[in-house]
């Protein structure tokens, strides 16, 4: 083994091999992969080898499509067979909810250009004659599904990488990793030490242990998983073609043909986290003891669904472990807090996702950013709230829900509550229905007195509808109150703070006492944050954005931090408080502060420190509801005092608490976008209208400046638009296709129901030539074409006259 390399990758499973294949393909040749044993010595060797494109996130689905397309290329390049079987696959629907789910997936695939189709029970029987369609309403057919040989595929990646210059060192365990003063990584192995500029953790089942060597905790956990292969079955092999895969979510099983028999695997409810205290180093090519009792119920369902199984003998039973992150997607990218340390871990579907993970990581390392938004698998989508036990509980829940219908309004219950604010108890007494984001509890809405505080998951309007309407009307007609803990908040201070912000933000940096809305851009001019920047005092800024992007934003802030002169503190949990919004909000605030908060003294976009009641606060005159409003920030230990002051003073002003559901409805009246819906790295400022906040003339060389200047020169091909939709009982969620003249011309980013305007609203992209006032389109919602019309003016206070009054 050589003593220096540009990149060391730890782990020779399918993921590590894909990483070195892509790094060398994209041009980095000085790459060494170190494997403890032989290639495929973790989860990889006993995988069932199935692959598919389906994923709730469109970019993940696209990367899965990329992975599947790559195998032929690999075979041609290396001559190593992956034993590909492109047999197609069907996902059955046994309930109307599942049918809605598949219709929504089909609609999303249309916008992605994927050729999935809804099929009838009769068509299912033609495709897969061994399937009993009793109780089945229909299915989604995906021609891209198939399976391969896990070992052959891993060796194909490895061979391709070696042909492109990579070195692979086998039977050599990495023992220690430590960062040197110059930023390089010292990697101590059984065969000696190697120093690398970049280190990649692709250690699969041992990713936790390898992470610990660098002092990081990666939120992932292994789960046991069982499948079995049958003896030969004549009904299976006496067929003129190989049978397609069948996914039976109601039976929690997946099935495919293997030679002359079948393979069937289960995601059972009675599932078992594996190696809770860590993975043994001597765990190798061995299987876990089988436990058919755990999958007994699912097997019974399977015998009914595929009667031939009941007579078949079982040839082999495989019980093996593989790793999951809390939401089931991989953990990829630069690990926050470390320099040049990269994660390629928690890849639970290595043969659907491995290629996409390798490509993404290689682009990120070489180009500085991936070519598309990959937040859904970014290691920084999780933060330090992920304790080991939280991770384990969430991973277990995710495994159990692998085949469950996911609803747009669903809140998953495991490991909650974790983080909450002091106001949590007050909201509980008011019958709050809670949601959770980034480990923190927030109020979704307040259920009527006497009603069980639970929102029924649904693709259609839920039981929260009427109550949320009342909360919205309270804001628009009187004054509403809700927490501001759902913002990520950062205090950025010091003599260099202004210039630093001027470089990382694309907009104007406000003078003391003022705030500005500010896009943060990547070098390629993509949106990586939509911030509010407030200069509270000279050289002291409060910067706020999405609560769920804390680790993501802190990683960016730290990557661009100058050696001195700037101090950054993440105050998201320590600085909380309330926003009050609505026509009576100013009077309410004036009643409890001696500061002058009149429009003359404290106009729109002001910020100031002031006493509110007995609390020292920071107040910002801005509100995401689009109404007249104030955000009031205090240290967490003052939150209850602040609440009491505001609630007493607001009693005769119609003060009413409101939750996130109302907030997300109110924003629709103003055509306000939101992070990870309208604003994300797939989109640019000019496409989304955020360019109005860019200060193109500022002298600083802000990040992304060249790209946005070029964009302004060339123009864009699509524009984000607001539509009023003639929806009856189901509003848009995201990624529904937008049709015009019989063709899909765009897609929805988000939307919902505006209780103020009593209209269903959608945001979505249209080609520039179609993005005209009054344009009629159809939006496909749950399989139905719903007419919609484009509106350029916001429905509420279009000229912002009231907002500024
Ligand atoms: C029963 C079962 C069925 C499955 N079926 C499918 C399927 O049908 N389709 C699908 O896509 N996926 C399936 N999977 C999941 C799939 O196996 C994983 O997604 C994939 O193998 C993950 O690969 P990896 O490279 O990340 O990790 P691993 O395969 O675990 O590889 C990690 C490698 O790192 C090495 N390593 C660890 N620590 C060190 C160290 N300190 N020094 C040197 N080397 C080290 C290990 O020896 C190992 O070879 C299945 C898994 C199981 C258990």
Nearest CA to ligand 1 atom 52: 47
Q: Which of 661, 625, 668, 662 is nearest to 763 (CA)?
A: 668
Please give all residues whose beta carbon lies within 6 A of any atom in ligand 1, as ranges.
10-16, 34-37, 41-44, 46-51, 173-174, 202-206, 210, 225, 227, 318, 320-322, 347-352
How many angstroms is it from 191 CA to the middle of ligand 1?
Answer: 23
CA quadruple 770, 771, 773, 774: dihedral sign: positive
Q: What is the pTM of this model?
A: 0.96
How many alpha carbons lie under 13 Å from residue 721 in its C-beta half-sphere? 29
Side-chain-facing half-sphere of 86: CA atoms under 13 Å: 10
Residue range 80-92, pLDDT digits in tens: 999 999 999 999 9
Q: How far is the CA of 46 from the centre of ligand 1 (A)?
A: 8
Terminal-residue alpha carbon distance, the chain: 71
Distance CA 473, CA 481 (A): 12
Shortest-distance atom of ligand 1 to CA 321: 53
What is the rounded average pLDDT for all residues in the chain? 96
| Helix 150-163 / helix 58-78 crossing angle, nearest 10 deg | 70
Report yes or no: 500 and 676 within 8 Å, Cβ to Cβ: no
Q: What number is the average pLDDT over the span 505-527?
A: 97
Worst-scoring range by mean pLDDT, 43-57, 440-454, 646-660, 754-768? 43-57
Question: What is the number of the ligand 1 atom nearest to the C-alpha of 322?
Answer: 53
Q: Whose CA is nearest to atom 19 of ligand 1?
A: 350
Are the CB atoms for 335 and 341 separated by under 8 Å?
A: yes
Pick from 14, 42, 172 the residue to mutate for probing ligand 1's pocket: most ligand atoms within 8 Å of its CB.
42
One DSSP character per residue, 148-165 reads: --HHHHHHHHHHHHHHTT
Predicted local confidence at residue 383, as pLDDT: 97
What is the spatial distance between Cα 630 and Cα 612, in angstroms, rounded to a whole number?
Answer: 12
Q: Where are the alpha helices (DSSP H) in 243-340?
A: 296-305, 307-311
| Pocket-testing residue among 44, 152, 346, 355, ligand 1, by greatest number of atoms within 8 A of Cβ | 44
- The answer on pLDDT for 285 being more than 90 is no
pLDDT digits (tens, 9 = 90+) for 664-711: 999 999 999 999 999 999 999 999 999 999 999 999 999 999 999 999
CA torsion sign for 202, 360, 548, 760 is: negative
Which residue, among 190, 104, 192, has the nearest Cα to 140 in the 3D structure?
104
CA 87 to ligand 1 center in whole angstroms:
24
CA of 42 to the centre of ligand 1 (A): 4
Q: How far is the CA of 278 from the centre of ligand 1 (A)?
A: 15
Beta strands at 192-201 and 4-10: parallel, antiparallel or unpaired: parallel
Pocket perturbation via mutation, ligand 1, pick of 22, 37, 47 by most ligand atoms within 8 A of CB:
47
Query: What's the gap in Å between 44 CA and the centre of ligand 1?
Result: 4
- Using left for φ > 0, alpha for ψ between -120 and 50, and beta otherwise, residue 72 falls in alpha
Query: pLDDT at position 54, please?
Result: 80
From the alpha carbon of 346, which atom of ligand 1 is closest? 26
Structure confidence at residue 114 as a pLDDT band (50, 70, 90): confident
Ligand 1 pocket, mutate which of 322, 358, 360 (most atoms under 8 A from CB): 322
Three-state SS at 200? strand
CA distance 21 to 589: 60
pLDDT tens sequence across 429-452: 999 999 999 999 999 999 999 999
Q: How far is the CA of 164 from the centre of ligand 1 (A)?
A: 23
C-alpha–C-alpha distance, residues 653 and 623, integer Å: 18
pLDDT at res. 646: 98
């Amino acid at each position: 083994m050589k003593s220096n390399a540009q990149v060391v990758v730890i782990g020779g499973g399918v993921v590590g091999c894909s990483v070195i294949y892509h790094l060398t393909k994209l041009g980095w040749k000085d790459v060494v992969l170190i494997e403890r044993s032989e290639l495929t010595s973790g989860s990889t060797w006993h995988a069932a080898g199935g692959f598919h494109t389906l994923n709730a996130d469109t970019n993940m689905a696209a990367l899965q499509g990329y992975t599947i397309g790559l195998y032929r290329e690999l075979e041609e390049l290396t001559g190593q067979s992956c034993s590909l079987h492109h047999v197609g696959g069907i996902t059955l629907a046994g309930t109307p909810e599942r049918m809605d789910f598949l219709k929504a997936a089909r609609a999303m695939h249309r916008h992605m250009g994927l050729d999935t189709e809804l099929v009838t029970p009769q068509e299912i029987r033609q495709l897969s004659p061994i399937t009993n369609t009793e109780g089945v309403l229909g299915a989604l057919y995906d021609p891209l599904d198939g399976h391969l040989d896990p070992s052959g595929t891993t060796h194909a990646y490895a061979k391709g990488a070696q042909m492109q210059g990579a070195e692979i060192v086998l039977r050599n365990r990495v023992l220690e990793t430590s960062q040197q003063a110059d930023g390089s990584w010292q990697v101590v192995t059984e065969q000696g030490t190697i120093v690398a500029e970049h280190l990649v953790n692709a250690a699969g089942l041992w990713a936790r242990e390898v992470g610990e060597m660098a002092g990081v905790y990666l939120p992932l956990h292994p789960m046991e998983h069982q499948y079995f292969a049958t003896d030969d079955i004549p009904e299976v092999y006496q067929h003129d073609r190989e049978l397609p895969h069948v996914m039976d979510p109601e039976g929690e099983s997946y099935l495919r043909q293997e030679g002359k028999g079948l393979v069937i695997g289960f995601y059972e409810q009675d599932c078992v986290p594996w190696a809770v205290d860590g993975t043994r180093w001597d765990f190798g090519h061995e299987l876990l003891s089988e436990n058919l009792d755990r999958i007994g119920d699912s097997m019974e369902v399977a015998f009914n669904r595929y009667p031939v199984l009941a007579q078949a003998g079982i040839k082999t039973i495989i019980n093996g472990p593989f790793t999951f992150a809390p939401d089931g997607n991989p953990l990829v990218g630069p690990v926050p807090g470390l320099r040049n340390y990269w994660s390629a871990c928690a890849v639970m579907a290595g043969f659907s996702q491995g290629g996409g993970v390798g490509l993404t990581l290689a682009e990120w390392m070489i180009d500085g950013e991936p070519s598309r938004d990959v937040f859904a698998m970014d290691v920084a989508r999780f933060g330090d709230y992920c304790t080991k036990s939280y991770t384990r509980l969430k991973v277990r829940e995710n495994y159990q829900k692998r085949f469950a219908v996911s609803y747009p309004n669903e809140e998953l219950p495991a490991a909650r509550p974790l983080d909450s604010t002091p106001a949590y108890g007050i909201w509980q007494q008011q019958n709050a229905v809670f949601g959770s984001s980034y480990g923190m509890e927030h109020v979704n809405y307040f259920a009527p007195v006497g009603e069980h505080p639970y929102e029924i998951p649904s693709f259609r309007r839920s039981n929260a509808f009427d109550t949320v309407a009342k909360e919205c009307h309270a804001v628009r007609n009187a004054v509403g109150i809700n927490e501001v803990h759902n913002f990520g908040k950062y205090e950025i201070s010091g003599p260099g703070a202004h210039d630093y912000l001027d470089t990382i933000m694309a907009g104007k940096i406000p003078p003391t006492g003022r705030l500005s809305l500010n896009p943060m851009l990547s070098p390629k001019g993509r949106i990586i944050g939509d911030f509010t920047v407030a200069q509270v005092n000279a050289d002291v800024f409060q910067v706020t954005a999405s609560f769920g992007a804390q680790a993501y934003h802190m990683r960016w802030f730290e990557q661009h931090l100058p050696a001195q002169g700037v101090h950054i503190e993440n105050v998201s949990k320590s600085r909380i408080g309330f926003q009050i919004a609505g026509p009576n909000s100013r009077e309410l605030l004036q009643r409890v502060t001696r500061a002058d908060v009149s429009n003359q003294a404290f106009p729109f976009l002001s910020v100031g420190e002031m006493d509110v009641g007995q609390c020292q606060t920071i107040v910002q005159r801005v509100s995401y509801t689009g109404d007249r409003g104030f955000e009031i920030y205090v240290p967490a230990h003052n939150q209850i005092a602040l609440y009491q002051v505001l609630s007493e003073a607001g009693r005769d002003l119609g003060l009413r608490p409101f939750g996130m559901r109302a907030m997300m409805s109110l924003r629709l009246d103003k055509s306000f976008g939101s992070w990870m819906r309208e604003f994300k790295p797939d989109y640019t400022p000019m496409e989304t209208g955020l360019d109005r906040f860019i200060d193109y003339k500022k002298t600083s060389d802000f990040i992304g400046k060249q790209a946005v200047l070029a964009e302004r020169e060339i123009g864009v091909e699509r524009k984000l638009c607001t539509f009023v939709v003639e929806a009856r009982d189901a509003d848009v969620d995201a990624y529904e296709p937008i049709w015009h003249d019989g063709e899909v011309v765009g897609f929805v980013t988000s939307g919902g129901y505006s209780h103020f305007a009593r209209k269903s609203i959608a945001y979505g992209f249209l080609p520039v030539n179609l993005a005209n006032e009054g344009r009629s389109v159809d939006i496909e919602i749950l399989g139905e074409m719903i007419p919609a019309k484009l509106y350029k003016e916001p429905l509420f206070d279009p000229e912002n006259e009231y907002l500024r009054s």
